[in-house]
């Protein structure tokens, strides 16, 4: 049987590339780590390292390392959640949200909830929509705020708000200065940067143009920093642009009428269902679109 400590031992050795540094990091002897690795390899029936120096993984070792990292993160997050719940007799609320929501109504909603329940413990995780969904499905979050309308087993979903997609560019960019709204061809001819939210757009013209983008940036803050230089442009929902309006201009795009849906996800099985329901109601009635 593979135990979690076997995976932790293997992952640490794979990260450090040798037994000595791994043993120091874990506070164990090299012989103990070597024995654990041997047990894991015997259980799998294959070697995980190319040589005895432990500095190169086999193809199987690479796959095991990837899965081990996922399981260790989930295990550690679960332990933290259990310990946090034990430290929070008055209740624990775990929220996972896309970054743009943190710059809109979410802070006010949290303030309202904490005023009602001063002894409540609340955890907020800032992550992209895919990771929010993972956190909900893995029981690491009670509520989630995501882009799109995912349908998930054991999770209630409702639309919080919708906002229009448009061009985001530096205030001094030529597309920001022209009188008419730029069209899709002009946007993609101006140093366009692709981002994860673009993939949600169903408009055929956008879908056809996206493969032409040579740069893809997944982190919102990095994306906005690059656009702010005036050398690149991107397409984002209006609410994302409002989070950091300084030196940036949002403009409608001619021919693009589509809107981005932002959804509230509610896990149906949580430790404090009444608190989850109350906070969900606060979120429903929050001024998301100003």
pLDDT tens digits for 174-193?
999 999 999 999 999 999 99
The answer to whether 30 and 84 are in contact (CB under 8 A) is: no
- Token pair belonging to 126: 């800032």
CA distances from 3 to 36, 40, 60 (A): 10, 9, 18
- Token pair belonging to 143: 């509520």
pTM assigned to the model:
0.70
CATH of 4-84, one of 3.30.465.10, 3.40.50.720, 1.10.10.10, 3.30.70.20: 1.10.10.10
Q: Where in the chain is the domain with CATH 3.40.190.10?
A: 90-160+261-284, 163-258
Assign 247 a pLDDT band (cuts: 50, 70, 90). Answer: confident
Average pLDDT over residues 22-47: 91
What percent of the chain has pLDDT above 90? Answer: 64
The class (CATH top level) of 90-160+261-284 is alpha beta
pLDDT above 90 (res 201): yes
In this structure, CATH architecture of domain 163-258: 3-Layer(aba) Sandwich (3.40)
The answer to whether 155 and 267 are in contact (CB under 8 A) is: yes
The answer to whether 233 and 158 are in contact (CB under 8 A) is: no
Nearest to 243 by CA among 261, 268, 265, 225: 225
């Amino acid at each position: 049987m593979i135990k979690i400590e076997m995976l932790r031992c293997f992952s640490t050795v794979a990260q450090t590339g040798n037994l000595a540094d791994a043993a120091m990091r874990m506070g164990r002897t090299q012989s103990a780590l070597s024995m654990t690795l041997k047990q894991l390899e015997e259980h799998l029936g294959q070697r995980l390292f190319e040589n005895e120096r432990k500095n190169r993984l086999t193809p199987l070792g690479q796959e095991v390392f990837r899965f081990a990292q996922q399981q260790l993160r989930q295990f550690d997050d679960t332990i933290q959640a259990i310990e946090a719940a034990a430290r929070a007799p008055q209740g624990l609320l775990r929220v996972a949200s896309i970054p743009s929501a943190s710059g809109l109504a979410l802070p006010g909603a949290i303030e309202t909830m904490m005023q009602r329940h001063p002894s409540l413990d609340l955890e907020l995780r800032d992550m992209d929509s895919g990771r929010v969904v993972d956190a909900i499905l893995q029981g690491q979050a009670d509520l989630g705020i995501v882009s799109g309308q995912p349908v998930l087993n054991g999770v209630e979903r409702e639309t919080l708000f919708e906002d229009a997609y448009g061009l985001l560019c530096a205030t001094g960019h030529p597309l920001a200065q022209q009188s008419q709204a730029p069209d899709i061809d002009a946007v993609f001819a101006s140093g366009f940067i692709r981002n994860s939210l673009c993939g949600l757009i169903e408009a055929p013209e956008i879908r056809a143009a996206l493969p032409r983008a040579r740069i893809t940036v997944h982190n919102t803050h990095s994306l906005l920093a690059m656009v702010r230089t005036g050398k690149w442009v991107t397409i984002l929902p209006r609410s994302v642009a409002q989070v950091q309006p300084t030196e940036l201009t949002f403009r409608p795009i001619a021919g693009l009428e589509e809107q981005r849906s932002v959804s509230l996800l509610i896990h149906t099985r949580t430790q404090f269902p009444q608190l989850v329901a109350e906070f969900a109601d606060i979120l429903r009635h929050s001024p998301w679109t100003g």
